[in-house]
Amino acid sequence: MNRLDGKRALITGGASGIGLAAARRFVEQGAAVLVAGRREQALRDAVGELGAKAHYIVADVSKPEDNRRMLQATLERLGGIDVFVANAGVEGVSAPLVDYPLEAFDEVMAVNVRGVFLGLQCAIPAMRARGGSIVIVSSIGGIKARGTGNSAYVASKHAEIGLMRTAAMECAPHAIRVNCVLPGPTDTRMIQSIEEGRSPGAPEKARAAILAGLPLKRYGTPEEVAELIVFLAGDEASICTGGVYVADGGLSAI
């Protein structure tokens, strides 16, 4: 039986990586999806792969008007919203905190924190009548510093967990569940960027160091993280709200 039959989902950052893997799994499990992102060609390609139950919208989650457009498009094209996956995020640059460029810090906070905040402001009122599930894709960086040079990213991911916990308490009377998924190192474009930032010109050295510190000695895949998102989105997780769920290869246990 399809676990998400009849569900309507909005997924930000849905054109690649974990977002696309989640959209793919949602459609496979019976949901209709609208994927949002900043790169139209990538979104077109994603929807072409996902099929007739998928739609897209070009939007920047850091902008209030774009969040309103995303929500309105979801209501118009899907007929409602049952699931909101706040997945869009950026990693920023790699630099010591005292040298971290202010403009880079502001960009990370605008997308990762302001974007989630604005998405919640739009999605929650639309979900109150029927209830539903909100999944915020944070990071293991939300509970661990994970080395040096990533102050903006770590701060933003801690903030996402704070937003989730606040939203979970405020949404509980409306049967809206709110949870966070915390991927560890996952084989996506973002980890490749982080590797290059830690070891410019020799990212394989950074990868070897990261892998050496993982109990499972491998990166996760976007599909593995997507399975956890699907679980939290579906009715099988009906008692789950306010939770932090790691998918990190054991990193949080260290």
pLDDT digits (tens, 9 = 90+) for 189-230: 888 888 888 888 998 998 898 889 899 999 999 999 999 999
- Count helices and strands (H / E) in the chain: 9, 7
Q: Model confidence over 10-22: pLDDT tens digits?
A: 999 999 999 999 9
Q: How much is the pTM? A: 0.95
**Position 159 pLDDT exceeds 80:** yes
Under DSSP, is residue 59 helix (H, G, I), strand (E, B) or coil?
Answer: coil
Supply the pLDDT for residue 1: 66
Mean pLDDT of 230-250: 97
* Mean pLDDT, all residues of the chain: 96
Q: Is 153 a catalytic residue?
A: yes
Residue 147 has pLDDT above 80, yes or no: no
% of the chain surpassing 90 pLDDT? 88
More confident position, 94 or 1: 94
pLDDT in tens, 55-88: 999 999 999 999 999 999 999 999 999 999 999 9
The neighbour count for residue 53, using CB atoms within 10 Å, is 16
In the set 100, 153, 219, 245, the catalytic residue is 153
Structure confidence by residue, pLDDT tens digits, 99-143:
999 999 999 999 999 999 999 999 999 999 999 999 999 999 999
- 171/146 Cα distance (integer angstroms): 31
pLDDT over 70 percentage in the chain: 100
CATH numbers and ranges of domains, the chain: 8-184+221-247 (3.40.50.720), 188-219 (no CATH)
Spatial CB neighbours of 166, under 8 Å, sequence gap ≥ 6: none
The Cα–Cα gap between 80 and 68 comes to: 14
Looking at the DSSP assignment, which residues form a beta bridge with residue 180? 136, 244
Q: 107: closest CA among 87, 88, 117, 92?
A: 92
Describe the chain by its helix, strand, coil percentages, rounded to 5.
50, 15, 30
Tell me, rounded to whole angstroms, the distance of Cα 63 from its chain centroid. Answer: 17
pLDDT band at 185 (very low <50, low <70, confident <90, very high): very high
Place of tokens 């990762």: 112
Measured CA to CA in angstroms, residue 33 lies from 11, 17, 131, 241 at distances of 7, 16, 17, 22
Task: Tell me the mean pLDDT in the region 95-100.
Answer: 96
